[in-house]
Amino acid sequence: MKVYILNHNIMHEGSTLVGIYASRSKADAEALRCKNEYLAERQTSWNSLSKTSQKMLGPMNRYLDIEGYSVEEYDLIED
């Protein structure tokens, strides 16, 4: 049996387990939901910064790429 692991990846910090799913479609749907939630939050944060702060942080895409979500497939070992 296969299981699908959803990880929250943070640059320079590594990955954290978010959830384990029995189907790829549910894991992908949750990853997409988490990603969209994260992007909306970061976009709001970016827009609240002054232009000087935005220039100091660099391009917005680098600001957004600090975190991400990934789905990995594993074989479940049953006893």
**pLDDT tens, per residue, the chain with 79 residues:** 899 999 999 988 889 999 999 999 999 999 999 999 999 998 999 999 999 988 888 888 887 788 899 999 999 887 7
Q: How far apart are the first and last CA of the chain?
A: 12
Q: What is the pLDDT of residue 66?
A: 84
**C-beta separation of 30 from 18 below 8 A:** yes
Distance of alpha carbon 45 from its chain centroid, rounded?
Answer: 16
E strand spans, 1-79 = 2-10, 14-21, 67-75
